[in-house]
Structure 1
Amino acid sequence: MAVEILYESDNFLVVNKPYDMYINSDDENEKNTVTHHIASGDSHLSTSVNPIHFVQRLDYSTSGVLCIAKNKTAAGRAGKLFEKRETKKYYLALVRGHVQHELCDIEYDVGLDPLTAQTSHRMLVRKTPSCKSCVLPRVAHTRMFLLETGYYDKDPVSVVLLNPITGRRHQLRVHCAAIGHTILGDYTYSDAADNAPHRMFLHAMRLVLPVDGEHLDIQTTDPFFSDKKFTDRWKSCKKYHKFQSKEDFLLICDIVDKVYVLGVRYKRFVCKDK
């Protein structure tokens, strides 16, 4: 698959990462990487003649907006924005089941699953104070906004906007699974059961990176409803919000950014000791 360049300057390169592609690899024979498509194979290493710096990361199965810094100074500036949570990230996802709440705040802490530390590196959520299986849990917060319901191969599915307030490993995937709405095609968090779809339906749709002097607001087109492999199996049930045009997607991002959204069915998922 080709890696589409969405934006380029002297400091940053923003690409549209395909699904089922690594960001980089220490294996010099691995060609299925973003690095291989945009630069030399070793460019993600500090020893490279022309190193690049990934200021964010996307899972192998996740597609969408990926920002890369071309120098250490730009990487440092972008990194501080991520640390201070001054960036904004918006994902489009399809999840199993019909979501009953129009707006959800999922605030379960996310930690390591010690049973998969050497294999799939699964994460766990902490729903109760007594949960001991979640190792080194860290505060995590995801906002979910319902856009449409329908059926994929006659199974109920929902189209949602996901806004990660924090940035933990596998946060969106494990949070969706924790509330009973595993992302469509997520092999890992469905316990290897969801293996029929041709991809995992999670896409980084928009990234806002307010760097001084170079404010980045990068958005891709919708990758799901233009994919015949998906649309041949999809039947819409109820549409809550338009989202497929750039203008419509910006409008729903503005709704999600509000602290309070009046007139919608709301649910907060939080550890019982909070």
Structure 2
Amino acid sequence: MGAKYRAGGLDDPEDEAGDAAADEAPERREARVEADGHGERLDRWLTGRAPEFSRNHLQSLVERGCVLVDGRAVTKAAHKLRAGQRVEVTLLPTDESRAFRAEAMALPIVFEDEHLLVVDKPAGLVVHPAAGNWSGTLMNGLLAHHAAAATLPRAGIVHRLDKDTSGLMVVGKTLEAVTALTRLIAAREVHREYLALAHGRIDAAFVVEQPLRRDPVSRVKMAVAPAGLGKAARTDVFPLGVGEAAGRPVSAVHCVLHTGRTHQIRVHLAHAGHPLVADALYGGAAALGLTRQALHAARLSFRHPATGEALSLVAPLPGDLAAAWAAIGAAELPR
């Protein structure tokens, strides 16, 4: 099928640097305060001269020294203007508008052809741009990796992993592939298996089948929902070994998803009394030198949407999890 296997690496975008710099030059606007603007707050007055920007963004420009009144920087949005004053504003783009830009990065690609790619996402890499992470995301890297990404929804990303979860993700490179992969995921025909370290002793396999919803108290968390509410979710958990950390049992487990809800494994294992190691959000204490939740998307299996070939890709444990895994003497991912 003409597939390419490689560890990453992107074309050098240096040739486009000059054009990009020119495109990013901020606009400057000047206007004189008329009589009807006398006594008006600076930020409110600016909304009438730059209506395409939110008032919050204009306030941030004021605070950053991007607004001059009669040639002097004013950094208080509540500053009252006087008729006849000349105001100059440098209209820096919003963070959101800069989010969907190509950024060259060494994507750890484990499989690629003209239809799709599979990436072994490292822990710490954010998948989609969002508040606090408007750049340096997987989406930014995909936009630099191939030109067609700019024409695709979310640059071809059809599912996600949490920032601090490592492992395999499939990404479409054409609209046809994105559509087909989305349908496969909806039909639960993309099979995802994870390796995790959890607190407590797990000696026997078990199933957690509990619906999930957004936590009603903390919007950054998910929670098991009361009967009749939330979205159906099932996780199968298989033991791979038990060790100790600071005198307390820690278990290595193999988790198989039947659904792909946000934070599913993290919530289900915490609900079962076995929060993931170092998953502070769901009650997991740090151990074995880990500083992020001990979760890795280790195997991804699906039928290629264009060729029909059965693909099953495996990503080895990254260094931090491999060391912790070895420390408790756990078994590897079953074949």
TM over 0.5: yes
- Partner residue in 2 for 1:123: 222
- Partner residue in 1 for 2:311: 216
1:57–1:29 Cα change, 3 Å: closer
- Partner residue in 1 for 2:239: 146
Q: Is the 8 A contact 1:92 1:204 kept in 2?
A: yes
- Partner residue in 1 for 2:192: 89
- Partner residue in 1 for 2:109: 5
1:36–1:103 Cα change, 3 Å: same
Superposed counterparts of 1:1-274, under 5 Å = 3-26=107-130, 30-40=134-144, 48=150, 52-100=155-203, 102-117=204-219, 120=220, 122-126=221-225, 129=227, 136-190=229-283, 194=286, 197-212=290-305, 213=307, 214-223=309-318, 227-228=322-323, 230=324, 234-236=327-329, 242-243=331-332, 249-250=334-335
Report % sequence identity: 30
What secondary structure, in the 3-state scheme, does the structure 2 residue paired with 1:188 have? Answer: helix
- Partner residue in 2 for 1:267: none
1:185–1:2 Cα change, 3 Å: farther
- Deviation, 1:36, is 3.2
1:44–1:205 Cα change, 3 Å: farther
1:18–1:105 Cα change, 3 Å: same
What secondary structure, in the 3-state scheme, does the structure 2 residue paired with 1:156 have? Answer: strand
1:235–1:29 Cα change, 3 Å: closer
1:8–1:194 Cα change, 3 Å: same
Q: Is the 8 A contact 1:44 1:53 kept in 2?
A: no
- Deviation, 1:224, is 5.5
- Deviation, 1:21, is 1.4
Deviations, residues 204-258 of structure 1 (Å, cap 9, x unaligned): 0001111341432211113357744x368x344xx6xx425xxxx32xxxxxxxx
Give distance in 2, aligned partners of 1:226 and 1:170.
Answer: 19
- Deviation, 1:106, is 0.7
Give distance in 2, aligned partners of 1:222 and 1:85.
Answer: 25
Give distance in 2, aligned partners of 1:85 and 1:29.
Answer: 30
Q: Is the 8 A contact 2:152 2:175 kept in 1?
A: no
1:44–1:169 Cα change, 3 Å: farther
1:113–1:201 Cα change, 3 Å: same
- Deviation, 1:151, is 1.4
Give distance in 2, aligned partners of 1:112 and 1:50.
Answer: 28
* Paired letter, 1:98: R
Give distance in 1, aligned partners of 2:235 and 2:152.
Answer: 36
Give distance in 2, aligned partners of 1:153 and 1:28.
Answer: 35
- Deviation, 1:37, is 3.4
* Paired letter, 2:245: Y
Deviations, residues 8-49 of structure 1 (Å, cap 9, x unaligned): 0101011100012101215798443223334339x898xx35
The alignment covers a number of residue pairs equal to 227
Give distance in 2, aligned partners of 1:36 and 1:153.
Answer: 40
Q: Which runs of 5+ in 1 are unaligned?
A: 251-274
* Paired letter, 1:243: E
Give distance in 1, aligned partners of 2:299 and 2:246.
Answer: 28
Give distance in 1, aligned partners of 2:263 and 2:148.
Answer: 22
Q: Is the 8 A contact 2:123 2:166 kept in 1?
A: yes
- Deviation, 1:168, is 1.1
Indicate the structure with greater strand content: 1
What secondary structure, in the 3-state scheme, does the structure 2 residue paired with 1:168 have? Answer: coil
Indicate the structure with greater helix content: 2
Q: Is the 8 A contact 1:78 1:209 kept in 2?
A: no
- The TM-score normalised by the length of structure 1 is 0.73
1:12–1:26 Cα change, 3 Å: same
- Deviation, 1:92, is 0.4
Q: Is the 8 A contact 1:35 1:44 kept in 2?
A: no
Give distance in 1, aligned partners of 2:116 and 2:160.
Answer: 15
Give distance in 1, aligned partners of 2:132 and 2:148.
Answer: 12
Q: Which consecutive aligned stretches of 4+ in structure 1 deviate over 6 angstroms post-superposition?
A: none
- The TM-score normalised by the length of structure 2 is 0.60
